[in-house]
Amino acid sequence: MTVLIHAAAWVLLFSLPTLLRPSHHANEINATDNVDTKMVFIISRISDGLLILFFYLNALVLIPRLLYKRKYAFYILSLLFYYSAFSAGMWLLWKNFTTPHKNFTFETFSVVSIFIFIFILACSMAYKTIRDKFIADRLSKEKETEHLKTELSLLRSQASPHFMFNVLNNMVALARKQSEELEPSLIKFSSLMRYMLYETDEEKVSLESEEEYLQSYIDLQQQRLSKKVVVNVNFAKADKLYEIDPMLLIPFVENAFKHGTGFIENPKIDIELKAQNNILYFRVSNKYDPEMQQVKDKASGIGLSNVRRRLDLLHPGKYKLDISKENGVFSVSLQINFD
């Protein structure tokens, strides 16, 4: 449907000179040589095609890759190059394959063609602006809808309820033993709850806050599981301050503890996180038993499929998510381009 609308618009636009031409002028053209009339038609269509090509080249390539990235010099040079090639090429065609008026010079043709070129350029920029606004509005509505759909799930599953119960039971045991680990455990648990209840209301949080939340979650899990599970954590210091969507990474870690412990022989979980050169690298891997069918707890997380949906909405075309199962190891690798 979109293609048909575009085609109809172009046909209407390039038909206007003919439709608005006076009748006596049309009779003069019909009285000219037939070969010239055919060549005029052919060259005019070539000109139309090159202008259409420029319209979409500017809207879909030059503006996103040059103008939006503030490469103004390259953008202007690209416009000048296309205009120069267009003017020179079309002037040679008109001069060599038709019988132009004796005053038909390259300078005259350039002056006329530049107005047409600027008109197409303005139309192209207007089209790109309107199109981007439409897409932005649509994505904004989808994000709002997605937020409403996932908010309840996030509130119910920000860290599994089973995890909460297990941590509280573990703290009861520590209290009975009068263990010195009780106080730091309560502090970590309080920090985790504070983040879940308050920080997640923000559209963005600092990567450092997200790391602290992940670390508190991991520490409490390790304390609960004691030495039964080997957990290797590597959070590299970011090269500058970054912001990330809250609770975006926890489902991967939660999934690793859920499916990588229990009846797994010699369970091991590896977690890596770093942010360098405006790219976030996050990797989680855990051992798993392919033959063991574990019953999924519906309240244990929003699921990897929903995380991928969030990534599609929040970072369209700027992330890479790889999920693999090889040699008894389940691995998730995520890259996000902050640009």
**What is the model's pLDDT at position 294?**
47
- Per-residue pLDDT tens for 14-30? 777 665 555 544 444 44
Report d(CA 251, CA 303) in Å as an integer: 7
Angle ∠(258,259,265) on CA atoms, nearest 5: 120
Least confident of 98-112, 252-266, 323-337: 98-112
- CA–CA dist 259, 248 (Å, integer): 19
| Predicted pLDDT at 301 | 41
DSSP state of 293: -
- Determine the Cα–Cα distance for residues 172 and 210; give it in Å rounded to an integer: 27
Query: At residue 126, does pLDDT exceed 80?
Result: yes
Write down the domain spans for the chain. 32-137, 158-337
Residue 321 is predicted with a pLDDT of: 94
Read off the pLDDT of each residue in 143-148 and give the average, rounded to a whole number.
70
Predicted confidence at residue 36, as pLDDT, reads 67
The counts of H helices and E strands in the chain are 10, 7
pLDDT tens-place string over residues 71-88:
989 999 999 999 888 888
pLDDT of residue 298: 43
Homologous superfamily assigned to 158-337: Histidine kinase-like ATPase, C-terminal domain (3.30.565.10)
